[in-house]
Structure 1
């Protein structure tokens, strides 16, 4: 006989852990499935913005997140250097952190478990269970086990098996970025900034993307780059080669490894990042999408952890509210919340995503950023919303 829960969460990353924690705190019986055994790594820039930190703090993890390497702002190289501080906002930290996904994801999942969530690691969800009316009623595992639930929250990543099993499409499916990164040793003093390099070129074209150097502390850093697929020749780019060129352009005093050394040590990780809502509407009867399964990352910056936490929080709360007051056929409350919180920002972001794919526009934009010495303008021009 299949087990039954109030809510089944596919994926134990930040979105899934936040969804499960909030749902369990509201009194729901919750189970989380993840195909990996934790700790496990995920390709990511590892940067926690102040907003991401605020969501983690609200889960009762202020002391735990404070153990990671703190950053107080960003340095932008375009190629001139200028600084952006994180703004002070009521009820929110004015700093961020850089945290390995092996560590922060384990902390979040453990916190969900401490709230009463049943966590099943090494349990791979391969698809949704759907009834005769087309409503999702649970998930099926790779072992063949079927688990029933009042609602399913799909937080199972960019290649979401739940979403694929439902054969869903979205008008925003084409919005994505390609990224590559590696953790490595660097020389020099420890810094407290997220370093972002806007001059990123391919065959003379300015790319819609950027490179980064995010300090992890202890002489280590997460270094990588990403670019949007709005650039018409994006499929011609060899990401590893481009990354090697970026590494060679960094200041010599950092003494970063050569690309062939990173390749030999298997430190390189590349991934596709869906953004701008690749599942819209963000729910179907019986199921809600969060994190990369939703395509929650910001266009064009690609910031994903804060949006994973935010979408997971909303999905967990809205799922419980709907199940309590109306049932699993209608999660309109979730769509309303997502649209209210991010709708205008993401509409602008998708437009910007397309616009900066034109090299002349991207190059002009960088020149304007260099010429206009105003932190607020620069922050909004880069990220469309300041440091949120």
Structure 2
């Protein structure tokens, strides 16, 4: 059995749903294939930055976000305590949210469906279909069904079956982070701030990473931590035990559950986060890579949802533009879009990824950040850059 579409999208997470919504705006025949049945859980910090909110607003989901817990900035412990508000940028929101992924991803996928995309849940893609020249012309599902398409967007995650089947490699493939998190009740007032803890040590080494506490509201929080694999002893870290140690540093009056109890209840989830373009160039004839299959995670922070949305929207737009003009053999327009948006930032991020893997340098970096005078200079520069040039009329 074979069906044909203009665009087949593998993966119904934020990247895939955004790509489907964008492409469906053109009237194209679009299908989204995902092996899961939604709502489904996805290990994540669950934080939506102001930039992520801006993309969701662009998609017409601003009102839907009001059901989630709003946050107005970030409280950083380095280990001194300081607040960081979201930059004020023209036409951009000044707040974020904490949104459980089962709810957020279902909203996004249903939104793509309402725009005209066909949504097929429980449809596991095992690999691409390629013609004699190697161009991707569709995908094969578990069970043997083939779905044909003029182009395919691989939004199928860090362990992308499409990327693996095509034996794709990139000089940036080694850049990734390991993260772990759990949702739990906490005996503390609901906060309107994301909390980041920079002092994260393993056997005396300052790690290139951080811990977090994100509030869901209603007395529930998301606690987690992440660290990058440039640290030479990263494979020696038992992430679950390490997270338990991090939780023990948090205020005792919060009355947090024990890590062993969370583990027994299967409430602890770990995952790998590829960062800094692990598929480059981000396309091959007939296929574009987006979200985690692209390695869209931000190298500095690991932030993934805003990058998934941005790359998904770009992939959907660029795929349809190419199909309407030159055809599916060349998606250079997508590579140019991603390079212009993230190229310089990700090059710099990969450099710091390597640098901060050295504990001495990571520790020196923490000391600099913890210095109020140095921090104020850096933050002032960041805010000025975020606000852009000031024009007088």
State the TM-score, normalized to the length of structure 2: 0.96
Distance in 2 between residues matched to 1:387 and 1:101, nearest whole Å: 30
Distance in 2 between residues matched to 1:126 and 1:216, nearest whole Å: 35
Alignment of 1:377 with 2:374, yes or no, is no
Change (3 A) 1:380 1:294: farther
Distance in 2 between residues matched to 1:352 and 1:112, nearest whole Å: 37
- Map of 1:192 onto structure 2: 192
DSSP 3-state at the match of 1:191: coil
| C-alpha contact (below 8 Å) 1:379/1:387 kept by paired residues | no
Residue 153 of structure 1: CA displacement? 0.2
Residue 378 of structure 1: CA displacement? 4.5
- Map of 1:123 onto structure 2: 123
Distance in 2 between residues matched to 1:350 and 1:168, nearest whole Å: 20
Deviations 1:44-80 (A, max 9, x none): 0000000101111111100001210000000000111
Change (3 A) 1:387 1:126: farther
Distance in 1 between residues matched to 2:163 and 2:214, nearest whole Å: 32
Distance in 1 between residues matched to 2:248 and 2:78, nearest whole Å: 16
Deviations 1:90-132 (A, max 9, x none): 1110000000000000000000000010000000011000100
- Map of 2:261 onto structure 1: 261
Distance in 1 between residues matched to 2:339 and 2:162, nearest whole Å: 22
Deviations 1:283-338 (A, max 9, x none): 00000000000000000310000000000000000000000001000000000000
- Map of 2:135 onto structure 1: 135
Residue 380 of structure 1: CA displacement? 7.6
| C-alpha contact (below 8 Å) 2:88/2:387 kept by paired residues | no
- Map of 1:363 onto structure 2: 363
Residue 386 of structure 1: CA displacement? 6.5
Change (3 A) 1:273 1:380: farther
- Map of 1:287 onto structure 2: 287
DSSP 3-state at the match of 1:62: coil
- Map of 1:174 onto structure 2: 174
- Map of 1:208 onto structure 2: 208
Residue 253 of structure 1: CA displacement? 2.4
Change (3 A) 1:204 1:380: farther
Distance in 2 between residues matched to 1:18 and 1:376, nearest whole Å: 37
Structure 2 unaligned regions, length at least 5: 389-393
| C-alpha contact (below 8 Å) 2:151/2:319 kept by paired residues | yes
Alignment of 1:104-123 (within 5 A): 104-123=104-123
DSSP 3-state at the match of 1:320: helix
- Map of 1:84 onto structure 2: 84
| C-alpha contact (below 8 Å) 1:369/1:378 kept by paired residues | no
Alignment of 1:234 with 2:234, yes or no, is yes
Structure 1 unaligned regions, length at least 5: none
- Map of 1:354 onto structure 2: 354
- Map of 2:11 onto structure 1: 11
| C-alpha contact (below 8 Å) 1:84/1:379 kept by paired residues | no
- Map of 2:391 onto structure 1: none
Change (3 A) 1:379 1:100: farther
Distance in 2 between residues matched to 1:253 and 1:22, nearest whole Å: 47
Distance in 2 between residues matched to 1:278 and 1:57, nearest whole Å: 28
- Map of 2:148 onto structure 1: 148
Structure 1 runs of 4+ off > 6 angstroms?
385-388
Structure 1 stretch displaced more, 248-257 or 225-234: 248-257
Q: RMSD in angstroms over aligned alpha carbons?
A: 1.6
Distance in 2 between residues matched to 1:149 and 1:380, nearest whole Å: 47
DSSP 3-state at the match of 1:181: strand
Residue 387 of structure 1: CA displacement? 11
